[in-house]
């Protein structure tokens, strides 16, 4: 890795290390305080909901600034300060209030950073996966250890255990304070015009449905496995398996995309993910089947995400990269995340718990596959 790219890898590491504590275990913390599935779902739903508002608002602010890197650092520091609010909250409405302001900043900075990363890569965007893989390493180390750690010290210690990770993320942002925006691409129209380009809306719809199908996984996977009798250490190991295979695939993704094309790979990822959620719904008590299902994370997440990043550089080149990232975050992680968390909470509380929630995830992902399969080939889709 070139020395100029190392600060990008470091930030990815700490951003996703913090996420490796937050996403798998915040539900366990909320559950340990005595709150039910709807509060857990609302926490994660609000987390994803801020992805609809935060990225475009943040992009508008940073886009007008001559020093966008300083805005980036400020956003990371604000994320740290807002997360500290969880140290003093226990009631549902207080939790949701802190979640709203924390999510606004945490979800704002990554689309900006992704655009900065693509600008730094220049004419080699296919090498993105080899930087992003360090985020997976950070997620792996934390997600794999937090289950056993919370078994030992108690789930209520979650905010204290996680806060240092956000402090490290803020420090890792500092070297990027002087990063510049991407150079303009000649002949590129407005983002609204690009949104109407053939294939863009279908692509965003598929990304949204894929994220919606992931809702039960992000909200209730840890609690689903806990209900099936697995220990915190075993649950952490299962999270680790998924991320380990994800890391391996991120290294191979550039070669696969170059050989097979982002479009066909995207379709394969959707099909495999349908099978994954069906297995999690039906065989949660089997550690070996759950380990096998986690291995498919290589396609469900790593390859799918790398394909999306490859396609977004076609649809939104140059300075439009930030607008493209904001749209992708808004549609997939934002709308898809909110709907996915709501669907998961409803199924968990009203339709039979984890099996029903993950079965619903399989159905939604099958719909995403169908939508993408009916696309008309477009030159932009490699």
Q: What is the SS3 assignment for 274? A: helix
Decide if 59 contacts 326 (C-beta within 8 A).
Answer: yes
**Mind listing the pLDDT tens digit for each residue in 235-285?**
999 998 988 887 888 777 878 888 888 888 999 999 999 999 999 999 999
| Terminal-residue alpha carbon distance, the chain | 26
- 3-180+195-373: CATH homologous superfamily? MFS general substrate transporter like domains (1.20.1250.20)
CA distances to 66, 160, 186, 359 from 22, rounded to whole Å, are: 33, 12, 41, 24
Residue 121: the pLDDT is 79
Backbone angles phi, psi at 17, to 5 degrees: -65, -45
| 336 closest CA partner among 109, 52, 108 | 52
Q: Give the start-to-end residue ranges of the domains of the chain.
A: 3-180+195-373
Digit-coded pLDDT (tens) for 295-327: 999 888 888 988 888 888 777 766 666 667 667
Inform me whether the pLDDT recorded for 379 exceeds 60.
no
How far apart, in Å, are the Cα atoms of 206 and each of 70, 237, 324? 34, 30, 15
pLDDT at residue 29 in the model = 93
Entry pTM: 0.77
Q: Is residue 140 within 8 Å of residue 243, measured between CB atoms?
A: yes
What would the DSSP string read from start to end of 97-118?
A: HHHHHHHHHHHHHHHHHHHHHH
Instruction: List pLDDT tens digits, range 187-221.
Output: 444 445 555 666 788 888 999 999 999 999 988 99
Looking at the predicted structure, is the pLDDT value of residue 179 above 60? yes
- At residue 59, the pLDDT reads 78
Position 6 scores a pLDDT of: 86
Helix/strand/coil for 376: coil
Rounded distance, CA 84 to CA 102, Å? 9
pLDDT at 122 over 90: no
* Residue 203: both structure tokens together: 């692509």
CA 324 to chain centre: 16
Residues 6+ apart with CB under 8 A from 297: 241, 242, 243, 245, 246, 276
Which pLDDT score is estimated for 376? 64
Rounded distance between C-alpha atoms, residue 221 and residue 20, angstroms: 13
**219 near 40, Cβ under 8 Å?**
yes
List of residues 6+ apart from 379 with CB closer than 8 A = none
């Amino acid at each position: 890795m070139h020395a100029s790219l190392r600060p990008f890898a470091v930030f990815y590491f700490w951003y996703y290390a913090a996420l490796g504590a937050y996403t798998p275990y915040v539900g366990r913390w909320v559950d340990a305080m005595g709150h039910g599935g709807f509060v857990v779902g609302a926490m994660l739903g609000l987390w994803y909901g801020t992805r609809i508002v935060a990225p475009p608002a943040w992009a508008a602010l940073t886009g007008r600034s001559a020093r966008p890197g300083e805005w980036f650092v400020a956003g990371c520091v604000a994320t740290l300060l807002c997360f500290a609010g969880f140290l003093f909250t226990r009631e549902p409405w207080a939790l949701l209030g802190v979640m709203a302001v924390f999510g606004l900043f945490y979800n704002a900075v990554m689309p900006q950073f992704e655009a900065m990363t693509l600008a730094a890569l220049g004419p080699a965007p296919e090498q993105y996966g080899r930087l992003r893989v360090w985020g997976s390493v950070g997620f792996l180390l934390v997600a794999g250890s937090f289950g056993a750690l919370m078994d030992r010290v108690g789930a209520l210690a979650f905010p204290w255990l996680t806060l240092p990770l956000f402090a490290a993320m803020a420090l890792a942002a500092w070297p990027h304070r002087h990063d510049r925006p991407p150079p303009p691409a000649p002949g590129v129209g407005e983002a609204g015009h690009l949104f109407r380009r053939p294939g863009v809306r279908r692509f965003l719809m598929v990304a949204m449905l894929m994220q919606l199908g992931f809702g039960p996984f992000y909200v209730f996977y840890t609690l689903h496995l806990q209900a099936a009798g697995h220990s915190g250490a075993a649950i952490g190991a299962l999270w680790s398996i998924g991320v380990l295979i994800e890391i391996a695939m991120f290294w191979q993704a550039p070669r696969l995309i170059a050989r097979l094309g982002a479009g066909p790979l995207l379709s394969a990822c959707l099909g495999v993910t349908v099978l994954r959620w069906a297995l999690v719904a039906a065989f949660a008590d089997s550690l070996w089947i759950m380990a096998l299902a986690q291995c498919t994370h290589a396609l469900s997440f790593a390859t799918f995400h790398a394909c999306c990043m490859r396609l977004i550089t076609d649809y939104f080149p140059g300075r439009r990269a930030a607008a493209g990232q904001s749209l992708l975050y808004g549609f997939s992680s934002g709308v898809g995340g909110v709907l996915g968390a709501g669907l998961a909470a409803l199924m968990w509380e009203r339709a039979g718990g984890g099996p029903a929630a993950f079965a619903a995830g399989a159905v939604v992902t099958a719909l995403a596959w169908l939508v993408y399969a009916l696309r008309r080939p477009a030159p932009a889709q490699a």
